[in-house]
Chain A
Amino acid sequence: MTDTLTPVLTEPWGVDRSWTREVYESRGGYRALDTAFAMSQDDVIAAVKDSGLRGRGGAGFPTGMKWSFIPQDASTEAGRNPKYLVVNADESEPGTCKDIPLMMANPHVLVEGVIIASYAIRAHKAFIYIRGEVVHVIRRVQNAVREAYEAGHLGTDIHGSGYDLDVVVHAGAGAYICGEETALLEGLEGRRGQPRLRPPFPAVAGLYASPTVINNVESIASVPSIVGNGAEWFSSMGTEKSKGMGIFSLSGHVKRPGQYEAPLGITLRQLVELAGGMRDGHELKFWTPGGSSTPLLTAEHVDLPLDFEGMAGAGTMLGTRALQLFDETTCVVRAVLRWTEFYKHESCGKCTPCREGTWWLVQNLARLEKGQGSEEDLDLLLDQCDNILGRSFCALGDGATSPISSSIKHFREEYLAHLTHGGCPFDPARSTAWASSQQEVTA
């Protein structure tokens, strides 16, 4: 039985100057690199496959399998083309806040993971695409890359292995859609971040039309520990199909919001208890399991295992384990409207359903939130969602429908209450971070 919390990636975060190479190396950093170099590239891929690591950026695709898709057959054009590793550090999904502290506190584990992953897929150039709005994170990663070069972890003939790798830290410029991997590639190629047609898939024709692996920060950062400790070590954590540890990000009306690294399969009930419960005198009303694009759940779902299968079974997704918790003071219609405005703002504009659909959804929701319209408008909303879900070019449009359809499913009465009340029946002041303390003072 593994412990309830299993800090691996988060473990060094509290250490003084944890972001420096000196501290990272003093704690065993960059040793997994030698372990990897002693293995064949295919064995590294096999180890990551065997570990059961699934992408930590939301989709949960097996990381080792992704690496194995990179064509290595020199008799084909794709096999001859250069290979690239791109780290998706564009963390922007509402509620998601794990990669940013990881890179800030421990950028070297990411760099080490980049080197091992690049070695495995036989890439000699890797890119870390970090959203631009987090300059201190970018400083830390830039610094770590510089330090890694200075120590011979990057550059030519790394650790005497004969393997060469260059890493470029690339700052984005403000676009949620660039978290979508092909849109990210567009951004990295200096274009508008609009998703590409697939096929061809990035594994065959990604960056510069060459074979490319795109992995989330946490996925790559997990690699050194997998290579260092072995696949079995990793797979001893988690559930049958959702292996390993992952960072669970609790936010909202919980007493101790923050990062909780635990084996996949932990429940929200466990996490909330660790976090000291909901705010005093309040109870959980609804929550997102993995960011705003994952259909929201309610208090009745707190005992479901937070793993890929458990969440899929509840009609939602594990996503990025971005657990946004809202108590009963929160108006679900207001929350959903705000998310929908977000999707409208972030829709890249490429396809009709997402571009026009989010435009219209916001208008309908705004009317309802103001208590205008009728019950039929709820059906219209659901039909609009039906016309967007699965019709859009990429998953952004799908994500935009998740909060709406799931909230109508769970809180239809609350929508109707807006109509009967002639507006929002909630007092937003009661939801604020300072509301409870004020109430306690006045009480």
Chain B
Amino acid sequence: MSTTSALEQTTLDELAEIAARYPEKRSGLLPMLHLVQSAQGKVTPEGIQACADILDISPAEVSGVATFYTMYKRREPGDFHVGVCTNTLCAVMGGDEILARLQEHLGVGNDETAEKREGDAHTVSLEHIECNAACDYAPVAMVNWEFVDNLTPDTAVQLVEDLRTGKEVRSTRGPRLCSWREVERVLAGFPDGRADEGPSAGPSSLVGREIARERGWSAPPGAASGTTGTEDLSASEAAAEADTSRAESETVEADVESTVEEPSDD
């Protein structure tokens, strides 16, 4: 079990700083609890008391909030917290199988941390999560709340092994993965400078746009073209961009039905 260190003054100052972002300080509670998790690895009684003191509310009120939201943990997760979506669509698409495989591979139940093996660089914890708004990439897992899209049982096992052994892993639609505690700090509103990592969008996000480009479809011309169309881009830029997107795409088959009926008006 990892030990929890006391909240440092800098953290207490940052907690107060979060509260000060809002017209009424209690609004800071959710990000403040994220910061407590970043500092202490979980929501601790000490962290609850610190939030209560800063916000002039009772520890019970903080506790009520801390136990309502599922991202707040009472046991510290691993360095990498893997959440496999098992809501209906992902489950049907294989999320159930992925979760079962990972549970077996890691030897853990829900919301547990796998044993750190000799030589492992990092720990991994596992839980099943609800829909994380990535259904077009099903089945999906989140690692420290970064997307890992289009998993299979095998790639999922490879993923956790890479995480455990310390290989650098990138989110399929995001940056190099950082630790759970580091991510919690971002959620508290303290950016980590990784916003510019990763692509603009994953391949599934672009399929409609690509079809439209291929077929020359667009929204009607408007007064301010910049916000609607692609006129500012040269044709070659657009083509290059489309190629790039397609190259990144693994799951999408390129040949689309060439004849598409116009929408009926009824």
Which A residues fall within an 8 A CB radius of B? Answer: 1-8, 10-20, 26-29, 31-32, 35, 82, 91-97, 99-101, 104-106, 109, 125, 131-136, 138-140, 142-143, 146, 168-176, 187-193, 208, 224-225, 228-230, 233, 236-237, 245, 247-253, 255-263, 265-267, 269-270, 273-277, 292, 303, 305, 322, 324, 326, 330, 334-336, 338-339, 342, 345-346, 348, 428-429, 431-434
Contact = CB atoms under 8 A, between A and B. Distances in A.
B89 A136 contact: no
A104 B200 contact: yes
Contact of A258 (B72, B130, B208, B232): B208
A11 B230 contact: yes
16 contacts: A1-B262, A3-B212, A6-B220, A11-B228, A15-B200, A20-B196, A135-B145, A136-B194, A146-B191, A174-B72, A229-B224, A233-B228, A258-B207, A265-B263, A269-B261, A324-B89
Contacts of B200: 12-19, 104-106
Contact of A11 (B21, B24, B64, B209): B209
B264 to A, nearest CB: 7
Interface string B180-213: 0001001111011011101011111111111110
A224 B227 contact: yes
B32 to A, nearest CB: 8
A171 B30 contact: yes
B228 A132 contact: no
The listed residue with most B CB atoms (<10 A of its CB), out of A10, A14, A16, A257, is A14
Nearest to B88: A338
B27 A190 contact: yes
Contacts of B61: 191
A326 B200 CA distance: 28
A342 B129 CA distance: 10
A104 B173 contact: yes
Contacts of A324: 88-89, 135
Contacts of A168: 21-22
Contacts of B210: 14
The listed residue with most A CB atoms (<10 A of its CB), out of B133, B206, B217, B223, is B133
A427 B205 CA distance: 30
Contacts of B205: 10, 13, 101, 104-105, 258-259
A99 B264 CA distance: 27
B69 A193 contact: yes
Nearest to A93: B131
Contacts of B223: 228-230, 233
B208 A261 contact: yes
The listed residue with most A CB atoms (<10 A of its CB), out of B22, B83, B152, B242, is B22
Contacts of B96: 428
B132 A133 contact: yes
Given A7-B208, A270-B261, A97 B217 contact: no
A258 B263 contact: no
A260 B131 contact: no
Contacts of A433: 93-94, 138-139, 150, 152
Nearest to B225: A28
A265 B31 CA distance: 40
Nearest to B145: A135
A320 to B, nearest CB: 10
B266 interface: yes
User: Considering the complex of A and B, which 4 residue pairs feature the smallest CB-CB distances, nearest first?
Assistant: A28-B226, A229-B222, A190-B29, A228-B224
What is the interface residue range for chain B against chain A?
35 or more
A15 B266 contact: no
Interface stretch (B1-9, B118-126, B161-169, B250-258): B250-258
Given A15-B241, A250-B136, A208 B24 contact: yes
Contacts of A339: 87-88
Contacts of A96: 131, 133, 135
A170 B32 CA distance: 11
A303 B171 contact: no
Contacts of A261: 208-209, 212
A265 B265 CA distance: 8
B44 interface: no
Nearest to B37: A173
Contacts of A277: 257
Contact of B68 (A16, A192, A233, A270): A192
Given A94-B89, A258-B208, A263 B28 contact: no
B258 to A, nearest CB: 10
B159 interface: no
B222 A225 contact: yes
B219 A252 contact: no
A14 B241 contact: yes
B72 A262 contact: no
Nearest to B25: A190
Contact of B70 (A173, A224, A260, A263): A173
B202 A82 contact: no
A342 B128 CA distance: 11
Contact of B138 (A99, A252, A345): A252
Given A139-B194, A258-B206, A270-B263, A94 B219 contact: no
Contact of B131 (A229, A259, A342): A342
Contact of A262 (B135, B208, B266): B208
Contacts of B133: 91-92, 96-97, 99-100, 131, 134
A45 B68 CA distance: 37
Contacts of A248: 208
Contacts of A193: 68-69
Given A4-B262, A14-B209, A104-B173, A139 B191 contact: yes
A274 B257 contact: yes
Given A5-B208, A326-B92, A190 B227 contact: no
B135 A28 contact: no
B97 interface: yes
Contacts of B228: 8, 11, 225, 228-229, 233
A32 B227 contact: yes
Contact of A7 (B86, B131, B209): B209
A7 B33 contact: no
B55 interface: yes
Contact of B264 (A125, A262, A267, A335): A267
